[in-house]
């Protein structure tokens, strides 16, 4: 596997496809640039998903997120694009992507995108959820 940024997202077979369990990734080093000013934007992404047949491979996920570094994106657009790409790669039962973007002009944007539609999380998602410390 390459160590260069890439839009390819690798997956591997879910080792327990008959069990509903939560995978929770914290990605604290996301960067892109503001499409208006060209200034860098920094974010911490939290990816939570219940896998079906495939799981996301972490090194390719890192390289995928790195591929946005020099591109201009609005926070809302890049969060939804990443969710769409991750869902296309692994077809999870459920996925939530939360983007905690750094403060800009006194405003801290937090963008939450979910698959399937908002509010359709599995009934036991709270039992599966892993709480993190900090400002999550």
Inter-residue contact 94 to 116 (CB < 8 Å): yes
Beta bridge partners of 112: 98
CA distance 12 to 59: 12
Q: Is position 41 annotated as part of the catalytic site?
A: yes
Active site residue 32: no
Catalytic residue chosen out of the listed positions 32, 41, 55, 90: 41
3-state secondary structure of 11: strand
Q: Check 8, 24, 34, 126 and give the catalytic one.
A: 34
How many Å apart are CA 26 and CA 24, to the nearest integer? 7
Catalytic residues: 34, 41
């Amino acid at each position: 596997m390459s160590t260069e940024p890439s839009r390819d997202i690798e997956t591997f077979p879910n080792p327990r496809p008959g069990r509903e369990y939560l995978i929770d990734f914290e990605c604290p080093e996301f960067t892109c640039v503001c499409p208006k000013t060209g200034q860098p934007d920094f974010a911490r992404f939290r990816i939570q998903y219940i896998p079906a047949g495939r799981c996301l491979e972490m090194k390719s996920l890192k390289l995928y997120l790195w591929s946005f570094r020099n591109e201009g994106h609005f926070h809302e657009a890049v969060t939804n694009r990443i969710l769409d790409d991750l869902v296309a790669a692994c077809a999870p039962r459920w996925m939530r992507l939360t983007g905690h973007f750094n403060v800009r002009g006194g405003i801290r944007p937090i963008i939450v995108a979910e698959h399937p539609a908002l509010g359709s999380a599995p009934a036991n998602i709270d039992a599966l959820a892993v709480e993190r410390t900090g400002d999550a």
